[in-house]
Amino acid sequence: MTMHMRTFRQRYFCVASLSCAAVLCYLFYNRQLYETPGTASAHNVEDDVSEPSNSPEPDVQLFATFPSFRQEENLTATEGILCIDEGEARWQFRLPKALIIGVRKGGTRVLLDILARHPSVKACAREVHFFDRQENHKLGLDWYSSQMPLSLEADIVIERAPAYFISDDAPRLIYKMSPSVKLLVVVRDPTVRAISDYAELFDKYHGEMKPFEEYVTADSKHNVVKTYSEIVNTGVYTSHLNNWMKYFPLEQFHFVSGELLFRDPVQEIKEVENFLALKPFIDEKLFYFNKTKGFPCLAPAFKKNGQNAVSGCLSDTKGRPHPAVNEDVVTLLRDYYRPFNEHFYRVVRRNFAWP
Ligand code: A3P
């Protein structure tokens, strides 16, 4: 009888372990399809609706990015956290050490994709909307960290969530998670940003939109700025930053120029590496100039069967053509933003020189 029980227990244990290991492998492999560490990977499922992932096609090399990927029997689960036991080095789901909090249409996606090439960065594949949506936030921090890619203690886990920058509650909730988290903000000429935002919505709603001029002005002659419109208000960076600075000191922010990220990504990224205390890694060799797109793209991340894998260029939803806008409305917006911009330059101690 005892013998019988022992055999039964052994069998049960064996089947349970194998099932767990299989589930772990499946989860782990699936994550890599979307977020291979060290590759351009962020796929924004909701905000960049039509954006296909640029991640290289999955193949066996994905596993090569975890050189010491262990056998199934060495996978362990402790205290509800999935770990791959590596002795000193432990792959775990961890909370982000840095967040790209905005601004929408500033160039947040390209920033994440470039940083994801750094071996010490683990970039979250999608926007989790943990700090700006109650239904997600109530799932708790364990859930949030389980949405992150696996990482080692020394890695920098980054989530990109442009919706956070304009959220009233996100700064407080993020501070509660980690008062020392580093905050990256990509800023861009707010007038151009507004047009870019409109262009995205125009695509999303298949052109079923009022003209841009009507979105951003409150009168039929287009002489009064519709300050309460989100397309306009998002560009008043100083007012949103104010909300964040109630919780975080200026030293915890780094502001990236969206314009330079487009023209000279390497220089801007060097500053970001420095801010995140990363070893310098991103250089010119990671980029090439794409004539069709008209801007620098990341070089393909992997070689597959001797050929380059999918390009590191962002999809057509990034860098899409902007609609022609009434020049008077452009001037109206520029005049509206100018004093806010100047205040913003003073606060962040960098002059972005927007017209
Ligand atoms: P446009 O589509 O208006 O040109 P976000 O990722 O925050 O939504 O920002 C999108 C913007 O990133 C694009 O706006 C584009 O200008 C900018 N960008 C900067 N570098 C880019 C790159 N290498 N490829 C595509 N877009 C880039």
List the domain boundaries for the chain: 3-84, 94-348
Per-residue model confidence as pLDDT tens digits over 23-44: 454 444 334 333 333 333 333 3
Distance (Å) from CA 97 to ligand 1 centroid? 24
On the question of pLDDT at 54 being above 50, the answer is no
CATH of domain 94-348: 3.40.50.300
Supply the residue whose CA is at minimum distance from atom 18 of ligand 1: 107
Looking at the chain, the whole-number percentage of residues with pLDDT higher than 70 is 72
Least confident stretch, 103-117, 128-142, 313-327: 313-327
Distance (Å) from CA 317 to ligand 1 centroid? 8
Per-residue model confidence as pLDDT tens digits over 157-215: 999 999 999 999 999 999 999 999 999 999 999 999 999 999 999 999 988 899 999 99
Q: What is the pLDDT of residue 290?
A: 83
Distance (Å) from CA 145 to ligand 1 centroid? 27
Q: Name the DSSP class of 163.
A: G
Higher pLDDT, 174 or 311: 174
Do the Cβ atoms of 181 and 251 come closer than 8 Å? no
**Number of helices followed by number of strands (H, E) in the chain:** 13, 13
pLDDT band at residue 71 using 50, 70 and 90 as cut-offs: very low
Which of the listed residues 110, 289, 317 should we mutate to test ligand 1's pocket, taking the one with most ligand atoms within 8 A of CB? 110
Residue 222, exposed/middle/buried by CB under 10 A (0-12, 13-18, 19+)?
Answer: middle
Supply the residue whose CA is at minimum distance from atom 17 of ligand 1: 107
85: β partners: 90
Supply the residue whose CA is at minimum distance from atom 6 of ligand 1: 109
Do the Cβ atoms of 104 and 162 come closer than 8 Å? yes
The residue type found at 73 is E
Q: What is the pLDDT of residue 17?
A: 52
Distance (Å) of CA 287 to CA 56, 201, 282: 16, 29, 9
